[in-house]
Amino acid sequence: MILIRSNESRAKASNTPTSSAEKVVSKDDLLTEILIRLPAKPFVRFKSVSKNWNSLISSPHVVQLRNPDHSSVSGLFVHACNYSLICWNERSEHHNLGLEFIPLKNGKNPTYEPGDDAYIRSLTSFPNLPRVIILNSCHGLLLCFGYNEVEGKHGHHILNPTTKKFKTLPQPRLNRLDGLCLAYDPSESPHYEVVGLFRSDSSSWTESYFHVEIYSSQTGSWRPSAGNSYTLDLVNFPETVFCGGVYWNGAVNWLGTGGADSLYFNIDQERLGTIPMPPAPHGMVWYTKDTTYYGQSGGHLHLVELYNHATQFTVYELERDYSGWFVKYNVDISAVGIAFPEMMRIPSTGHIGCRVLDIVRGESDEESYMVIAVGRKFIEYRVVDGGFSTICDASQHNDGDDRQDFDDDALRYHWCNAHEFIPSLSRV
C-alpha cells in the first residue's frame, strides 16, 4: 500500500528521511507508470489527491498511454424501447424507456467486483444530461442526443461515461440531418470527428442529393467535406440507414437494407464508396431477412442476418479493402432456444424472440462471444464451442421508472442497438 501525504504533512516531516512512497509520488515518470496500470474507477478518483495528480491524470500523454483496446470492453449500454427501431435519433425520443447497463467479462482486467452494483447503476446516470439516447460508441466515447440541463435545450453531445464529462456539439450550418456518426481512434489521435449527413431538396424520383459536414474536436467547429455534395442513386441504394453509421477502418460505414448494397465514407480521403452485401443463402430471398447485428469489435466489422427467423445463421466479416464479406462463424443457437423456450416465438409476431446485441472479439476465436438478448435475459454465447451462460436478468432491475408500464411481451424483442462501454479517460 502506498501512503499519500499532503504537501503540509511532508513539510512537517522535513527532518525525517524521505520514504520510498514519497520518492515515487514525487517523480512524475514513475508515478505515471503506476497510474496507467490502475482500473479506470480508482484512476479517476485519484484526481482528487492533489492538483499535480489531477493535471497528470488529465494530460493527453497519460490518456494516450491508457488507450483502450478491444480486450477492455467491459459492458454494453442497451436501450429498452416500446417499439422495434432500426436506429435511434431525436425523432424516436418518445420511444425511449431508458438505459440498461449489461456488465461483461473482462478476464485481463476485471472492471467490476462484488458489491459494485451501485457503481454499475451509476453508469447510466449522467449529471445535467438526463434520459439520453445513445447514437453510437467509439473507443470509450459516446455520441448521444439529449437535454442539456445547463443550457436548457436539446442537442447532440459527446459523452465520456467513465468521467461523466460531456461536450455539446455546436449547431451545424445545414438542416435536414439524416445521421451523425462519431469517429475516434485514440491510437491515431487524441482528437475525434463527427460526420454528419444532410439531405438536400430533390425533385427526382431516382436520385437524392446530400451534403457531408465534419465536426472536429481540434477546431471545435463544423466544415463542409471536400466533396461537399453527393448524389445517391435511389434505384441501387433505396434504403440506406444513415442514422446507424459504424466507424471502422478509417471510415463511417452505413448499412443498406432491402437487398441493396451499403455505403461508406472514407474520412481522410473524404470519398464515398460502395460495400457489396453478401448474397442471400440458396433458396432464400432478401425480403425474408432480418439484420439483427451490424457493428465492429476489435478492428473487425461484422454483419448478422437472420432468414425466416431461423436459429442457424452466419456471422460475416468485411474485408478491409471492401472487396466483400467472408464467413467468420457459422452459429446454431437452437440449444439456447431449448434452455429458454420463450426465445422461440413471440405471440402474434412469428419472430424468433432473441436479438444479437454485440459480438466481442477476443485475442483468439475461442475467447470471442456474442451477447444475445432473450426477453429480459442477456446471454453470453461462445461462437466456437457453442457454450452459453446467463450474464444477467434485467427483469430483476426495478428502479421505479416507466418501464414497469410495459409487460414482458411488449419488451421481449425491443432491445435497441447496443453500444460498447470501454473504460476511458479520453477528453471530450
The model scores a pTM over 0.85: no
- Calculate mean pLDDT across residues 106-131: 67
pLDDT value, residue 17: 47
* Higher pLDDT, residue 319 or 426: 319
> For the segment 21-43, what is each residue's pLDDT rounded down to a tens digit?
555 555 666 777 777 677 666 77
Return the DSSP state at 411: H
Contact 248, 254 (CB under 8 A): no
pLDDT value, residue 369: 92
Least confident of 75-84, 170-179, 242-251, 370-379: 75-84
Complete edge-to-edge strand list for the sheet that includes strand 153-160: 133-138, 141-148, 153-160, 165-168
Indicate if the pLDDT at residue 388 is higher than 80. Answer: yes
- Calculate mean pLDDT across residues 311-325: 90
pLDDT value, residue 114: 46
pLDDT value, residue 3: 32
Average predicted confidence (pLDDT) for the chain = 75
Indicate if the pLDDT at residue 287 is higher than 60. Answer: no
- Calculate mean pLDDT across residues 214-239: 76
Q: Which domains does the chain show, CATH number per domain? A: 24-65 (no CATH), 70-421 (2.120.10)
- The backbone region for 164, taken as left when phi is positive above 0, alpha when psi lies in -120 to 50, beta otherwise, is left
pLDDT value, residue 192: 96
Indicate if the pLDDT at residue 409 is higher than 60. Answer: no
Indicate if the pLDDT at residue 159 is higher than 90. Answer: yes
- What is d(CA 275, CA 322) in angstroms, rounded to the nearest whole number? 6
pLDDT value, residue 2: 32
Confidence category of residue 282, pLDDT binned at 50, 70, 90: low
Confidence category of residue 225, pLDDT binned at 50, 70, 90: confident
Which of 162, 127, 161, 165 is CA-nearest to residue 147? 127
To the nearest whole percent, how much of the chain has pLDDT over 70?
62
Indicate if the pLDDT at residue 323 is higher than 80. Answer: yes
